[in-house]
Structure formats: structure tokens, C-alpha cells
């Protein structure tokens, strides 16, 4: 993610930074699906995402050079994804929003979240849908196809090779601080990149 944003904010001519950055969003979508599966209260999970979406909006538009309401940051996309996982009819919300304001990854992002949920339920179907979605994405963005290189990471996790959680008395336990790392890192690193751009570029 940071490499991708270095390309967006500081080095827009270095396309290889954006290509490397294509790995980030599929992983976030996969982690989002895991979060919905494992949270004790999905509404609290959604609220947390929306709070950080609001917090992150100013750093996002300053760093990316957007107007205040020209585009919404990725936390809004992830929030829309959680809404859809809660109730598929809520896909109408991001669809309607997309007519009035852009949001990071747009409807592609929502569909990718659905692909990740399918991947969790059925590996072959999930892989097929991810490949199909990213092939179609070539019509919109030539570099989005590189997102497919993130698939092996998700498959390794699903197979049990990348699991870092601990079990206590048979229950899976996650350190409470871990879930806040990405939440806080996102607006903080955008702010730092904006300040670097402001004073040194």
C-alpha cells in the first residue's frame, strides 16, 4: 500500500510502484472477509470502518490531490463491502453513490470483496471469479490485472500456512492492538506523504 501511494503522491511517473501496489487491495479485501467472519459484532466492525473512513478523508484527498468530495478513500469501499456481506441488497448503496461521487476502486472493489468471500467458501470458484474480474478490469485499467499476483498469498493463508493467530482453551485469540494497525497507519502514512510532497517536492 505504501509503495502504491509513493507512486500516487510522489513519483507518478514510476509506474512500477503502482504495479507493486496492486497487491495491497486484494489482501485488504480478503482480510475484510475474515474480519466479518470472525467479529463478534459485525455492526461494530462496520462502525469502526466508517469512523476511520471519515478520519482518513482529509489526508486522502490532500495526498492524492483530489478535491474534498471528488473521491472517497478506501475505507468507504471496505465499508460498502461489509454492508453487502451483511445484506446483498445493500449493494444498491455503493451503486447509487457511484453516480454522484467516486470511491477508491469503485464497484470493482465491491465485486472483489464478493470474490474473496467466494474464495473462502470455495477455492476453485473464488480463483475463477478473481481471474475473470481482473481480466475484465483490463477494459478500465491496464495495471489492475497485476492484482492476481496477490492470489497465492490468500491461498497460502486459506491452506493454513500463514496463520498467526493464537489459541487459548481452544478459542482463537487475536491481540486487540493488531486490528488497529491498518486503521491508524492508513491516515498517518497519507499525512506523512502529503507533508513530504508539500515541503520537498
Which residues on neighbouring strands pair with residue 166, listed in sequence order? 173
Tell me the per-residue pLDDT of 109-121, one tens digit each, with 9 for 90 and over. Answer: 999 999 999 999 9
- Residue 69: other Cβ atoms inside 10 A: 11
CB 133 within 8 A of CB 111: yes
Helix (H) or strand (E) run with residue 189 in it = helix 179-200
- Which pLDDT band, with edges at 50, 70 and 90, does 90 fall under? confident
pTM of the model: 0.90
Q: Which residue has the higher pLDDT, 142 or 19?
A: 19
- Which pLDDT band, with edges at 50, 70 and 90, does 17 fall under? very high
Summary mean pLDDT of the chain: 89
How far is CA 65 from its chain centroid? 20
Label residue 100 exposed, middle or buried (CB < 10 Å: 0-12, 13-18, 19+).
Answer: exposed
> What mean pLDDT comes out for the span 87-101?
86
pLDDT at 162 over 80: no
- Residue 176: other Cβ atoms inside 10 A: 7
- Which of the given ranges, 80-84, 139-143, 158-162, has the highest pLDDT on average? 80-84
Residue 180 confidence (pLDDT) = 79
d(CA 196, CA 153): 32
Give domain limits for the chain: 24-200
Amino acid at each position: 500500500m505504501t509503495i502504491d501511494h509513493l507512486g500516487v503522491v510522489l513519483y507518478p511517473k514510476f509506474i512500477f510502484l503502482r504495479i507493486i501496489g496492486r497487491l495491497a487491495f486484494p489482501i485488504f479485501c480478503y482480510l475484510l472477509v475474515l474480519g466479518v467472519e470472525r467479529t463478534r459484532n459485525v455492526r461494530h466492525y462496520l462502525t469502526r470502518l466508517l469512523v476511520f473512513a471519515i478520519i482518513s478523508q482529509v489526508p486522502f484527498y490532500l495526498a492524492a490531490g483530489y478535491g474534498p468530495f471528488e473521491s472517497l478513500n478506501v475505507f468507504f469501499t471496505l465499508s460498502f463491502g461489509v454492508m453487502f456481506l451483511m445484506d446483498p441488497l445493500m449493494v444498491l448503496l455503493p451503486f447509487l453513490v457511484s453516480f454522484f461521487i467516486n470511491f477508491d476502486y469503485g464497484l470493482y472493489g465491491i465485486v472483489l470483496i464478493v470474490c474473496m468471500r467466494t474464495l473462502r467458501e470455495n477455492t476453485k470458484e473464488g480463483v475463477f471469479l478473481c481471474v475473470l474480474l481482473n481480466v475484465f478490469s483490463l477494459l478500465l485499467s491496464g495495471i489492475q490485472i497485476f492484482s492476481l499476483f496477490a492470489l497465492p498469498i490468500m491461498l497460502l493463508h486459506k491452506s493454513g500456512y500463514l496463520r498467526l493467530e493464537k489459541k487459548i482453551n481452544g478459542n482463537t485469540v487475536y491481540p486487540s492492538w493488531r486490528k488497529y494497525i491498518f486503521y491508524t497507519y492508513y491516515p498517518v502514512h497519507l499525512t506523512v506523504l502529503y507533508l513530504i510532497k508539500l515541503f520537498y517536492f
